[in-house]
Structure 1
Amino acid sequence: MADDLDAVLTQLVVQSPADLQRLVGLIRTTCGDTLSLTPLPAQTPVSAPESDAEKVVAEFAEQFSVDVSAISDRQREALTGALGAASFAAVIQMFFADFLPRVRNGLEVLGLPVGWVPEAPMWDPGIDAGDMLFNQLLPGVARLRSLDPVTTEVVRLRGAVAHNCRLCKSLRESKALDAGGSESMYDDIEHFESSELLSDAHKAALRYADALIWSPARISPAVASGVREHFSQEQARELTLDVMRNASNKIAVSLKADQARVADGTERYLIDEDGQTVFA
């Protein structure tokens, strides 16, 4: 099951920008502790903030992990006031620190291999984390095709609501609509357990997505069993990575940059063969 995405994930673990090295250590500790998961390793481990600026970053990172939609204007202003132009880079680091431990634990609970967190990392200060995220990781996950498009879209929309991403909630993927997705079905996502339109496989995927989003350290055996029952190992891995890809909306939401492209209704889009979003 190893592929180029494992190599990308490894690079994201070992990237250690010199100008943010201490903050990366603080962010990784904060997010891991907040989630009750093992933090990503860091070249400069930091157990607690030691300055007012670091306290601001730690508070923002904690809220980023707990519920990104609840980040306040005060917290945003404090972050940009403390970090200035480095704020966006710091938030990207929060996404890695927040979601890679979730993915690692989800895969382990499902009995799937995790070979991308090295025991003795060779730290690399030259990796461009933003480029890796937007040009390699996210498109790479989007190119995966073992899941059917409706399941992929149902899970994406669940994450859109969980993180209250205005842009994500306004979008509808064309291939999913063509494959049987509908607004009636999507309306049922909110109360999926009682839905007659969503399949048992959809419900198993949504339970797992909810667990990764809200209680990643406590993924129940029943939830894991449901995933294994309805999905192959390849599909289960893709499902896990899809939840992570969808959660990249936390970066925009945290910075209040998630404005929808349409004032009313929804907008169709599709993922092309390169994993890039193409709007209708």
Structure 2
Amino acid sequence: MQDLLTPLIALSPPSLVAVNSVTRETCAKTTGLRPLPYEAPTEPESETEGLLVEFAEQFSADVSAVTPEQRSTLMAAFGAEVLGIAALMFVADFGPRVSAGLTALGVPVREPEAWDNQTHPADALLNRFTSAVGALHGLDPLTTEIIRLRGATQHNCRLCTSLRETGALEAGGSEPLYAEIAQYEESSELSAAHKAALRYVDALIWTPSSLDDAAAGVLAHWSVDQAVEITLDVMRNATNKIAVALGGDEPRVADGVEHYRLGADGMPVFG
């Protein structure tokens, strides 16, 4: 299951080797983690490297604070390639977090044996990875939804906070319960196991260089396989950082919330 990360680490589009190296170094420096390995670039430093560094730093530190000026500058510089670049930036940002989380859980991460120069980063991340993680069922639907909603608010994703998964509602989810997530430590409704999972979510998002206590807390309530699934769920949900960074997180409904069901293939199905 943890090997779902390996194909993302292997991504190295030939035209974006320099972008990959810059974002992997920058994001890791910002979070205080070891960067993912990358294929060494052969071309000299480009004039876009400075803006990439600035954007990647903000993307990693707090994506909700990306400014319209930063967004428009990135889009103007990279045009049609911007989604692929954002996907690579996300892997550069969240890959080390997940690797650190898995290490804290005592689970090894397998590094790639060769670079993937063919797969488009957005396809690898937003289609293949997210669906594979969504299809995992080691956690109950309510726990999965509680984890998702915490990540949605931490990244200030307007779309994600407007969605509710039907299976979780059928499993006992409700708006009063979900409101408890904001102040989960004081909640009398969320279980000790859910609180441990939420501490781990917060650690992956905000303090990824200090995960040991949160990881130990998760393992006190969940199996290793479930803890790995929680870790991958956090990464899957955090792909909302791409939408937030690029300004594409507008809700699909003007008021209230929209229901969807996570399909057997791990992809959302809207009614």
Give the structure-2-normalised TM-score. Answer: 0.96
Residue 50 of structure 1: CA displacement?
A: 3.8
Q: Say which of 240, 244, 259 aligns to 1:253.
A: 244
2:101 corresponds in structure 1 to 106
Query: Which runs of structure 1 show a deviation greater than 3 angstroms over 4 or more consecutive aligned residues?
Result: 49-52
Q: Say which of 118, 135, 141 aligns to 1:143.
A: 135
Counterpart-to-counterpart distance in 1, 2:248 and 2:134: 22
Counterpart-to-counterpart distance in 2, 1:132 and 1:232: 28
CA-based RMSD of the aligned residues comes to 1.5
Instruction: Report Cα offsets for 1:147-196 as digits up to 9, x if no partner.
Output: 11111111100000000000100001111111111111110111000101
Aligned-pair identity in percent equals: 52
1:39 corresponds in structure 2 to 35
Counterpart-to-counterpart distance in 2, 1:266 and 1:135: 24
Give the structure-1-normalised TM-score. Answer: 0.93
Q: Is contact 2:17–2:41 with CA below 8 Å preserved after alignment?
A: no
2:171 corresponds in structure 1 to 179
1:91-102 map, 5 Å: 91-102=86-97
- 1:196 equivalent to 2:192? Answer no
Count of residues paired in the alignment: 270
Counterpart-to-counterpart distance in 2, 1:178 and 1:58: 44
Residue 12 of structure 1: CA displacement?
A: 1.7
- Structure 2: gaps spanning 5 or more residues: none
Counterpart-to-counterpart distance in 1, 2:19 and 2:216: 38
2:79 corresponds in structure 1 to 84
1:271 corresponds in structure 2 to 262
Instruction: Report Cα offsets for 1:38-67 as digits up to 9, x if no partner.
Output: 101111269xx9443111111111111000
1:111-260 map, 5 Å: 111-115=106-110, 117-118=111-112, 121-221=113-213, 223-260=214-251
| Counterpart AA for 1:128 | H
Q: Is contact 2:6–2:109 with CA below 8 Å preserved after alignment?
A: no
Q: Is contact 1:174–1:270 with CA below 8 Å preserved after alignment?
A: yes
Instruction: Report Cα offsets for 1:225-249 as digits up to 9, x if no partner.
Output: 2101110011000000000000000
